[in-house]
Amino acid sequence: MLEFDAALSELLSPASGSATDDIIAAFPRLSNSCAENEGSDLILLGVQERWIDLILNSKPFRCLKESDDVDDPEFTLFDIVRAYLSNFEHVISVNKDLNATVTSFQALERIIDGILKVLVQMRETRQQKKSARRKKRKSVANTDTAEVDGKAFTLVWEDHTVTKLVGDRSDCVWIVEQLWNIGNQLMSVSFVASGVGDLRGVAANVFAASHDFCLMSDEEVGQSLSKGFLDFDIKFDPTKSVLPSFGQTTERLSCDISSEVSVSFHLS
């Protein structure tokens, strides 16, 4: 992985002239190669970490606020994140030497923050723009548009740019459950990892991120309902915290979070 990082640094240097998109395009083949070789789960995790880091810093995500004119990627961000989180859970469940996975815990927190930054940016961007005109669909249950007490609302996940770059709402809900599972696994490990500290601290951050993704899965276009309520919102600036208000709860669909993160959505 050190040699891989050195090669990436060389390819991404201004002097090399290599395009980031071309480098990202090579990652599916790299990932498949790791997956096909038994015992390469930790190496695959490193490849997936770097893949996500590159995507989060690529032009489409840097320019999400400025333009909706982006090419369709081969994989959405959530496609890769789902594979990464599944592999992460597998690695920490079978790897007895957690010292070998110290950098993986650090990368997990960095990646989660990077993804939440994109979702917050998405929330702020869609606050300023009108929802794109939606095609008529056969089943209302398969849309991200719902009606409560005769009042229709549209989720940010209905936006075409969000769907093709980030993913859809079902992916976001899946990430909620997966992060909660990973947090529970970390809580069960009685171990202080060198360079990371008590893994319960990492678990706490993972649990907080799980709740953030749950709130973002119900974000409406133009409303910024989750603003100030996300742990990510106040993580770097506690002054942005707001007090919860439940005065309009009858206007919203229920989103139940149990101790097992049983997220129930009924769009009809």
**pLDDT score at 13:** 73
Site of tokens 């599972």: 181
Q: Bridge-partner residues for 152, per DSSP? A: 147
Query: Token digits for 139?
Result: 């089943």
With 80 as the cut, is the pLDDT of residue 70 above it?
no
Q: What is the pLDDT of residues 239-257, one digit of tens each?
A: 776 665 555 544 545 454 4
Phi/psi region, residue 261 (left: phi>0; alpha: psi -120 to 50; beta: rest), is left
Closest CA to 80 of 143, 135, 19, 25: 25
Q: What is the mean pLDDT of residues 135-155?
A: 52
With 60 as the cut, is the pLDDT of residue 129 above it?
no
Query: Token digits for 260?
Result: 């097992």
Q: Name, in order, each residue with C-beta under 8 angstroms of 252's C-beta and a sequence gap of 6 or more.
A: 148, 218
DSSP string, 65-118: TT-S--PPPSS-HHHHHHHHHHHHHHHHHH-S-GGGGHHHHHHHHHHHHHHHHH
pLDDT band at 49 (very low <50, low <70, confident <90, very high): very high
Determine how β-strand 145-148 pairs with β-strand 151-154.
antiparallel
On whether the CB atoms of residues 115 and 237 are closer than 8 A, the answer is no
Question: Using CB atoms within 10 A of its CB, is residue 204 exposed (0-12), middle (13-18) or buried (19+)?
Answer: middle
Residue 7 Cα to chain centre, angstroms? 27
Closest CA to 42 of 122, 100, 86, 85: 100
Q: Name, in order, each residue with C-beta under 8 angstroms of 268's C-beta and a sequence gap of 6 or more.
A: 140, 141, 146
Q: What is the pLDDT of residues 171-223, one digit of tens each?
A: 999 999 999 999 988 887 755 554 556 678 888 999 999 999 999 998 888 88
On whether the CB atoms of residues 228 and 234 are closer than 8 A, the answer is yes
